[in-house]
Amino acid sequence: MKTLVVYYSLSGKDTESVASRIAKELNADIERIDTVTPYPDNYEAAVEQGKKEAESGFCPEIKPLSHDPADYDCIAVGTPTWWYTMAPAVLTFMRQTDFKGKTVIPFQTHAGQPGHAVSDIRKEAKGAMLFSGMRFEVGKLGVITPEKEIQDWIADIKKEVLA
Ligand SMILES: Cc1cc2nc3c(=O)[nH]c(=O)nc-3n(C[C@H](O)[C@H](O)[C@H](O)COP(=O)(O)O)c2cc1C
């Protein structure tokens, strides 16, 4: 089972560190989604722009990926929560990828208000087999979701998807 972890991370911190861990534990390739037009450096301005985009279902143009999702049987899709849903760049990725016959494993990071990002990814993964998603709550010092919960989820992926 060939696995690719695809994620977006505005800061290059929370979702990136979670995605790296998952890729390492699943022995998977990894790719960060990047928008063609960067978001403002000012966090408040990025949050405001993100609000308009997330609420309108805007799909920003993203840079071409260096891994072709078509080459993989299993794709873990990771997003920070943006206004209770996935980041717009991840919506672009979901809309431009053919998931038929693949297994999709959604995960999100959030700061206490997870909203419905995981279920929104599931809805966009047309034709995929869906594995249960994981919500990683992040605080100032990193992930605060109990380690046991994360380990159980990863063990289940290994047992039920990759075995
Ligand atoms: C535009 C924007 C919207 C956000 N909306 C939410 C939200 O709805 N719920 C929440 O818990 N956190 C929200 N956050 C916080 C991020 O989800 C959280 O900090 C995440 O871990 C950041 O991931 P990153 O470091 O990979 O960019 C938002 C952040 C941004 C920039």
Is residue 105 within 8 A of residue 157, CB to CB? The reply is yes
Find the CATH number of the domain harbouring 97.
3.40.50.360
Q: Express each pLDDT in 52-75 by its tens digit.
A: 999 999 999 999 999 999 999 999
Range of the domain at 98: 3-162
Alpha-carbon gap, residue 144 to 131, rounded angstroms: 22
DSSP for residue 7: E
Q: Is 108 exposed, middle or buried (0-12, 13-18, 19+ CB in 10 A)?
A: buried
Q: Express each pLDDT in 62-114 by its tens digit.
A: 999 999 999 999 999 999 999 999 999 999 999 999 999 999 999 999 999 99
Question: Structural domain tally of the chain?
Answer: 1
This prediction has a pTM of 0.98
CA of 101 to the centre of ligand 1 (A): 31
* Residue to mutate, 58, 77, 81, ligand 1, most ligand atoms under 8 Å from C-beta: 81
Which residue CA neighbors atom 8 of ligand 1 most closely? 83
Mean of pLDDT values over 133-160:
97
Is residue 50 within 8 A of residue 82, CB to CB? The reply is yes
